[in-house]
Structure 1
Amino acid sequence: MVIPHCRIPGAWPARTWPVLLALLLALGAPLARAAAGPDLEAPRYVLGRGLHLPALDLTLAGYTSLRVRGLEGRDTRFDLHDLALFLIWQPAPRWTLFAEIEGEELATVDGRGLNNGDSELVVERAYVDFAATPRLNLRAGRFLTPFGRWNLVHADPLVWTVTRPLMTTVPVPDHASGVLAWGSLPLAAGNLEYSAYLDGSESLDPVHGEAEFEEVHLPAIANDFDHAAGGQLRYHFLDEAAQIGVSYAAFDIDRGRGHHHAFGADGLYRWHRWEVSGEAVYRLNSAAGTRDDWGAFGQLVVPLHGPLYGVGRLEYYSSGVLGEDVGRGSLGLALRPVPPVTIKVEYHDGNNHRVLPDGWEVSCGILF
């Protein structure tokens, strides 16, 4: 859910109320439970894992990201890019309620000075999980689309680069509203994760049609499903050092002109702090006269000294929907003094400055 241009001070728009409702649902019930009787177990806080309140069966966590950008043809810009709060309530062993409330671009400083005109308050995720069996979990609500690997771990402190590959954002909307079945099974010497979902965003998402793309401005196309079905298989092996995944989605999207099918594959391998990863996608576009979308990226992470890493990435995306072909190379450094904190510097250069302008970017992300 997106509550556009939520400004403080001033009157809150009507669509801020879903955010307040999500907060009340996450906090109100455990507070009522705690009021029913004393609990002497003390709260516990761990950086990167949040504050656990045993008396409420509640965990508060989140992340924040500060960013500075110097892009070709634009003013240098500093912004509080993300401030996200996670609320996790487990009222019973088999039930979990989760909400992610995120503020985007809450404060920006550029050539015009300080402003917050682009700030947004977003319910990024809000769902309930039920552990039906040790191998099967059921989810209902708004969740990240299980397509590819990057979309599921895209929070700034968890990724190695400041920027996100274009082919992980455009082919398939990054969120869904509906039901999801997921779990894992032992297979050979590894573990097979599975997920399958049905989406009804057109009916279930109260702000359907307003979701924006991360990092790129593409007003001509939508980042919302109308209806969708899909799933993902992911195999972990070599003692969790390696994983490969395949994804599929069949969907109609807002302003999408027909039914689409997308196929994805991804992989990751870690060895002695080295890491190589990549994703590929192919999307069949049904609209007459529109060529299909396809693209891929490959990324290498190299340990340099202590917690300092070098990062390089090549990406390419050919889009019939955008009518654009985009290639980009990125080089950067990533410093992880402690696992929940990541400081990154990146320079990127490509062949399509209109969609992805060249330049440098710096970010500091913290899981709290």
Structure 2
Amino acid sequence: MSRTIWRRGIDDRCWGAPGVRSGHGHADPHIASANGCHLNSRLSYWGRSMSYFLPKRRKPGVLGLAVLGALAFAPLSVHASEAELKALINQLQQRLDAQDAKLQSQAAEIKQLHEQTDQMAALQGKPASAAAAPAQMASANPVPAGVSMNSTIPANSPAASATANAAVATASPAPAMTRANSDTSFGGYGELNYNNYVHDGSRTQADLRRFVLLLNHQFSDRLSFNSEMEWEHAVTSASDQGESEIEQAFLNYQIASGVNLKAGLFLMPFGFINQSHEPPMFYGVERNEVETRIIPSTWREGGIGLWGSTKSGFAWDVGVTTGFDVAKFDDPSAPLHAIHQELQLAKAHDLSVYGALNYQGIPGWTVGGGVFTGNSTHDNADYKANADGPDLSGIKGRVTLWDVHTRWQGHGWDLQALYTRGTIGEAAKIDASIQAFNNATQSTRPYVPGAFYGWLMQAAYTVWEHGNMTLTPFVRYERYNTQAHMPEGFAADPANADHVATMGLTFSPYPQVVCKADYQKYQDNHKNDRFNLGLGYMF
């Protein structure tokens, strides 16, 4: 049957029926409706309209058949009332609205996934199309601005579910980064601590310990910029103890897969905390003593380095950087903290070299170490610039620091062990110069140790987990001595050596937020016994 005949068949049943035309020879819709033909008129109109979708002198196309099929099987009775038709239309509209809402929800989920992949791409120094999101860090490609080359987010720590299989690298473990656009990302972390000294209430204090912002930029698939800005103790002024500082600012270039070049101010790859010091990344309210007094966390230098990883599970980092300035020594309780320069008008006559190697080829296990060495008198630069200090001419004062460490994570456990030792060469000559200066000026400058060391063991276990929330108790025992060897004739201060036991609890309401509580017992210096509370976050 042709399209014309089909249309006429419908017309004849209504428009051509007796008594349904107006006096003007046109169909009266009111009469048609009364005769049950108003709906037929609509079907006739739809039929005529749909006929234009069918190619002339051809069999109906797929679209036309689909439309006709829909009309044929639609629950529309030619005798249905207009109210029923409206109800059906409303029902179909509701279904469409529901589908639209579902599509919007799916689109939002897809957008969120893209943002997560962009965040991890920023950490890995790859374009925004790279990938990932939080869990346990432990393998391959290093991460500029981000993840420690020898430490991983504890699988059972608060941050575990906040950092996915990202690889070990250089710089500092980076919090999840938010992309301001396709090329620039930012993040941050902070901590608020309360310390209650058991034997001396006058020392009890609360402190906004750190507030840190990260800013990274991806110039290309291979070249990126990474930075970290930090404020300590809430207020920075001449009369306050607060500090503001640039902790990292370096460029990273991916030479090849698993090989990167970095240049600028970056973190040294030593211990666990120096590169992974965001509050959700370590146990305890305060950073452990060994990685504060012996390894001068947060320790950074200016220089150039090569770093990367292999498919067999090795991660490596080597470079040439600025070093220490022994002429600035003023604190025997933390020898290297007193003399590391932080790239603030750093003396650079004597450069240093470093190297670190870690093996992570066995899931959950990391073992490795590093070494840093370089002279520290810089051709007696401080004395030549200002004679108000000891004369160190003819002295090299080589500073060397090394560490070995291991960590195992699995089945809810997180076990760590670390040993580190440092030396200052020609300490006897340096102290003789300091002594001569003190005698001549009636000063009391402290004397340099020849050696210092520290070690720790730590165990944590997640006892409760519900959704994103975790509860993890831990214990730690550490030993340090910042004056392990003093030159003959120079005495060590007993206050600079101790055994410390720490017991604590970490509650994480969300992977990147932690609430901490612990108690620290100092075996040799009881006055330092304290109860600590802390809040921390990273984003």
TM-score range, shorter chain: 0.7 to 0.9
Matches within 5 A, 1:260-299: 260-289=399-428, 290-299=449-458
**Match of 2:105?**
none
- Match of residue 477, structure 2, among 305, 309, 314: 314
- Equivalent AA in structure 1 for residue 374 of structure 2: F
- The one of 79, 89, 93 equivalent to 2:217 is 89
2:517 is aligned with 1:345: yes
* SS in structure 1 of the partner of residue 290 of structure 2: helix
Q: Which amino acid in 2 is paired with 1:230?
A: Y
Alpha-carbon distance between aligned partners in 1 of 2:412 and 2:190, rounded to the nearest angstrom: 25
Q: TM-score, normalised to structure 1's length?
A: 0.75
What one-letter code is carried by the residue in structure 2 that aligns with 1:292?
A
For residues 327 and 471 of structure 2, the distance between their equivalents in structure 1, rounded to whole angstroms, comes to 41
Give the equivalent residue in structure 2 for 1:8.
none
- The 8 Å contact of residues 335 and 482 in structure 2, kept in 1 or not, is answered as no
* % same residue: 20
Aligned to 2:280, what secondary structure does the other structure show?
A: helix
Structure 1 residue 54 and structure 2 residue 181: aligned? yes
Task: Tell me which of 70, 78, 82 is aligned to 2:196.
Answer: 70
- The reply to whether residue 248 of structure 1 matches residue 365 of structure 2 is no
TM-superposed deviation, 1:157: 2.2
What do residues 243-276 of structure 1 show as CA deviations (whole Å, max 9, x unaligned)? 0011111123479971022221001101211110
CA–CA separation in structure 1 for the residues paired with 2:531 and 2:405: 27
Instruction: Give the partner amino acid of 1:363.
Output: G
SS of structure 2 residue aligned to 1:151: coil
Q: Match for 2:459 among 297, 300, 304? A: 300
Are residues 1:123 and 2:246 paired? yes
Distance 1:270 1:211, change over 3 A: farther
CA distance in 1, matches of 2:512, 2:411: 20
Distance in 1 (alpha carbons) for counterparts of 2:289 and 2:228: 24
Matches within 5 A, 1:14-29: none
Q: In structure 1, how many angstroms separate the alpha carbons of the residues matched to 2:115 and 2:500?
A: 44
Bigger fraction of residues in helix: 2
Give distance in 2, aligned partners of 1:212 and 1:367.
33
- Runs of 4+ in structure 1 displaced over 6 angstroms? 208-213, 216-220, 254-257
Partner of 2:287: 164
Provide the C-alpha distance between the structure 2 equivalents of 1:336 and 1:212, rounded to a whole number of angstroms: 39
User: Quick one: structure 1 residues 76 and 318, their matched pair in 2 at CA, closer, same or farther if it must change by over 3 Å?
Assistant: closer
Kept in 1, the 8 Å contact 2:475–2:504? The answer is yes
Distance 1:152 1:121, change over 3 A: same
- Structure 1 residues 194 and 211: alpha-carbon distance in aligned structure 2, compared to 1, 3 A threshold: farther
- Once residues 159 and 212 of structure 1 are traced to their aligned partners in structure 2, the CA distance between those partners, rounded to angstroms, is 29
- CA distance in 2 between counterparts of 1:313 and 1:268 reads 14
Larger Cα-atom Rg: 2
Cα offset for 1:160? Answer: 1.3
Q: Which of 285, 290, 300 is matched with 1:175 structurally?
A: 300
d(CA) in 2 for partners of 1:211 and 1:272? 45
Deviations 1:29-55 (A, max 9, x none): xxxxxxxxxxxx999588852321234
Change (3 A) 1:52 1:155: same
In 2, Cα distance between equivalents of 1:49 and 1:178: 26
Distance 1:252 1:337, change over 3 A: farther
Gaps of 5+ in 2: 1-110, 120-161, 163-174, 383-391, 429-448, 487-491
Distance in structure 1 (CA, Å) of the matches to 2:273 and 2:481: 19
Q: How does 1:181-192 map to 2 (within 5 A)?
A: 181-187=306-312, 191-192=313-314
Deviations 1:162-201 (A, max 9, x none): 12222223334411111111000122xxx10000021125
Contact kept in structure 1, 2:233 and 2:241, CA below 8 Å: yes
1:186-265 to 2 correspondences below 5 Å: 186-187=311-312, 191-200=313-322, 221-224=338-341, 227-239=351-363, 241-253=364-376, 258-265=397-404
CA distance in 2, matches of 1:212, 1:49: 38
Q: Is the 8 A contact 2:506 2:514 kept in 1?
A: yes
Contact 1:283 1:294 in 2 (8 A): yes
Partner of 1:22: none
Q: Give the TM-score of the pair, scaled to structure 2.
A: 0.52
Query: Equivalents in 1 of 2:365, 2:341: separation in Å?
Result: 32
- Matched residues in 2 for 1:169 and 1:238: separation? 29
Partner Cα separation in structure 1 for residue 365 and residue 475 of structure 2:
19
Measured in 2, the distance between the counterparts of 1:233 and 1:220 equals 24
Does the Cα contact within 8 Å between 1:167 and 1:296 map onto a contact in 2? Answer: yes
Q: Which amino acid aligns with 2:186?
A: L
Give the Cα–Cα distance (whole angstroms) in 1 for the partners of residues 267 and 225 of structure 2.
15
Q: Is the 8 A contact 2:323 2:376 kept in 1?
A: no
* DSSP 3-state at the match of 2:274: helix
CA drift of 1:362 comes to 1.1
Greater mean deviation of Cα atoms: 294-303 or 43-52:
43-52
Q: Is the 8 A contact 2:329 2:335 kept in 1?
A: no
What is the Cα deviation at residue 210 of structure 1?
A: 8.8
- RMSD of the alignment, in Å? 3.3
Deviation per residue, 1:104-160 (Å, 9 max, x gap)? 11059xxxxxxx822221101111100011121011111111122221102222111
Q: Which has the higher strand share?
A: 1
Decide whether aligned partners of structure 1 residues 212 and 149 sit closer, same or farther in structure 2, where only a CA change above 3 A counts: farther
- Secondary structure at 1:93 match in 2: coil
